[in-house]
Structure formats: structure tokens, C-alpha cells
Structure 1
């Protein structure tokens, strides 16, 4: 299932301007397994995206640079491409340095080691390594739940979601065992391998309990359409790219046997990659705008 996600691009102001509706979008609309309300909700979600702040835009550009450093003058110039004035960008850079998120020397701004490590971790999260699926499910069970604080529970929930687990009920997390290193190593977790009774039918029913696949697919299509819309300005497109990265990080990464027909994750990745490649050619960078997350 590898159709092209984008039709021939056109340029406006030097950046990518896709034309028309992609083959994937046509297939998604034709399939139409989600409800009208889900589609409308997804479109509203995209419309409500706001342009990145100067801080987030600066971090996004630096997180995408290789090495992760840029001259201040270049950051100001690039910020203006996304509707951020020079003075606003300079103030944001000064505050990032004061906060210990950037270093500066001789007019060049660079990420700190902590943010550089975050860059590498996010790249891994966007494309985790997969393994053949044999029907087994990784099951993580919380032990001693009564002694955990609310902050501890929130931290665990974030860690499990980042590892693409779905919560079956309080303290029980599951996912198909098709990702390399999917287990979250924490003292309060016990890991088991389970195989649902009832074969593939039961496994698909379990998937539906763990994740809202229709909502995820509807939002993916809405993001693709936003990328394709020639009337969307560059500041909004950068915000759409940031939302795309956050959205892709929530893809459950299901094995093919359990994924819905025409699952749009690959389409969204290709659309995002096309935007990133065009931006790289235009401004000499390859930004991953996840700093806004």
C-alpha cells in the first residue's frame, strides 16, 4: 500500500504548495469509515491550530539544523518567513539563552545537550523499529497502585502513551508485541505476554477498545488536507507540521494484520516528509517542528 500522497507541487513564496487532493485522500473519503461528526471535529481541530510562538519556531528551526546551531541573523530571517518580526525573534532568543535552553557565542545560537538529546529521542519515536508480529501482546500491569501519588500516575501515563501502549483499565496497559524495545522499564510495572482468545477477531476488538482509530484517522486526513491547501499561510503550515509530529507520535503502530484498511499513517508521514524536504531546499534546513509540543 504505497500510493503517492502528494500531487505535483507548485511554489508560492519559495515554499511547498501542493495542488489538489491526493490519491490517499480520495481513498480515505471513499472509505469513510468514520462519522461525519468525527470528520467535522478533526477539521475544527486543525482550524484551531495557532501559529508557533517565536520561542517554539526558534527551537523548531534549531532542532532541525545539522549541527543544531544557526546564526542569529539567519534565525531572524527565517522567523520572518513564518510571520515573526525580527525584534520578537531576538527577544525570544535572549530568553531561551537566559533559560538555559540555548547557548550563544559569536552570534551563533546552539541547542544545549539536553535539547539535542531530545531531538534524537524524538526522531526515534517518529519511526520506531518494528518486528514480525506473532499474535502476542505486551501487557504491563501496575503493582502497588494504592501507594502511588497523582504525579506518579501522570508520569507513568505519559511514559506508557509515549511507548504507544493503550490503557485497558486503570493499571493495565497493552499493545501488540511488534515494536522493538516496547517495554517500559519501571519498578511498579510487571510485564506479561498475552494472546487474546478468539484469534484475529478478538485482537481487533481489543484494538478498538484501546485506541480511537476513527478519530486518529480523521485527524490524519484533516492534517493532509491542510498541507495540501494552497491558501494556508506559511506560519499556519509550520503549526500544522508541529501538530503532525505530535499526532504521528500517537500512532499506535499496529501490525498490518490489525490495522484498518487504508490506515493513513504512511500518507501523513509522506506528506510531512515532502513539506520538510521542500523547506530544507528553500532555507537550507530540515526542521522537525516538535518543539511546540
Structure 2
């Protein structure tokens, strides 16, 4: 069998082309074409815009974050400095309050003591000196004289510190009771027996009281207070020196060896009161008039 062959004439080909173009135009005009090129173009353009915006926004965000981080670091450093200043002020306020309390306590005592007195600040300590010296910031210009007794008030308790041994224009040297060369005529407050109290040269060692007869041993107790006797011109009477912490009996000695812990805590001592036994307190004299 002979094969059938299909062939198109030029006119038929042109007709088919025109028919295709007409259908294409009809599809565009009616919006029923499978692919909407208008929407595709809009989507492509907007996607590009969105991508560009995202990139720009990201870059802007990075620069903004860097700027904010730098600002936060500066603020953090400023807050740290303010915190340091606040803590410093708090410590200063605490120290000022404590100092005011000490000065108020000292002032109350200074206005009630019968003798003329001079509150002073400790500005130095020299344990290597001929005396275990304590230097105060008052001297002859303030009325300080050699031989004056020195006392202190700590936590509401009055105690003996020592006596003035050297006087300068603006400063003075105090020989404390724990110095080995310091001897204080003292009385046991409970029994009224008198002896001599001296130190060993060390502020951390107990004081020694001698010349208390053995016959009063049964009347003594640990914790008994020893005060100044006031029988010499160096110390105000009835100022606490310390408390009895140990009593030793030596067979060959007619006296007791008594150890006394000072009332004053010398490690924490900051202010003292120098007293003049020869002149009355002008504050009391004025109130009596």
C-alpha cells in the first residue's frame, strides 16, 4: 500500500499562524491565559524590592546595633562610676556617723568632768621610742602641759590611757599605762585596797598590780574593777584602769601578783581627753553661776 503524505500549502501555514496569534491576543485581553505575565512581573519586581529592603534594613540594623552597643557600654561605665561614688559616699557617711558618735560621747563626758580638759586626736604611735609613745594633735598652744593625765571614752566606758610626758607647740606625747615606766597609784574598787599598777611595754599584755596584801585574797574576784586612787597629782581619781583577770599567790611574797586587763582597747583608740587637775572645768563653772 502506498503511504499518504500530508502537506500544507503556504496559504494554510499563514492561516494557522494567524489563528495562533489571534488566540494569543484573545487570551491576553480576556485574562484567561494560563500564566498572568502582569502578575508575574509585579511579583518579580516586588520580591526584588523586598530583598533590597531587607538587605538595607539589615545593614542599617547592624550599624544601629553597633551604635547602641557603644552607647550601652558608655552608660554601663558611667553607672559603674556612679556606683563606685555611691559606695564611697556610703562608706564616708558611715565613717562620719561613727566619728560623730564618738565625738558626741566624748563631748558629753568632757562637759561633765570637773577638771579642765582638752579633747585630742591620736595622730601617731611609736612603740620603738623610749616610751611606747602615743602622739596627739594638741600641744602647748592648746594648753597642754607635761604631767597631765589622759583618759578616753569607748562605748560609754571611761578608762585611763596614760599621762603627758613630752609637749610640743602643736603635738604632745602620751606615755600609756601599758608602758613599763608608767606607774599608777590605783585602788581595787570593791575592797578599797591601794596598790601600784604598771605595764610590761606591750599593749596586748596584761597590766600588773602589786602591793595588795594576801589577807584580802578571799575578798577578790575576777572582774573586779581597779580605778585610779587620786592620791597623786598625775591622775584624776576613780578613773577605771582595768579589771582583774588573774590572781597569783607567791609563797615568799607577802603581796599578791594581780593581772589586770585594761579598760581601754588601745588597738581601737582614736581620740582622748587630756585633763588638767589644777584648773576647774570652765563649762561647769559657767553653769553654776
TM-score by shorter chain over 0.5 = no
Give the TM interval when normalised to the shorter protein: under 0.3
Normalized against structure 2, the TM-score is what? 0.25
TM-score (norm 1): 0.24
The one of the two structures with greater contact order (alpha-carbon pairs below 8 A, sep at least 6) is: 1
**Bigger Rg, structure 1 or 2:** 2
- Bigger fraction of residues in helix: 1
Q: More strand per residue: 1 or 2?
A: 2
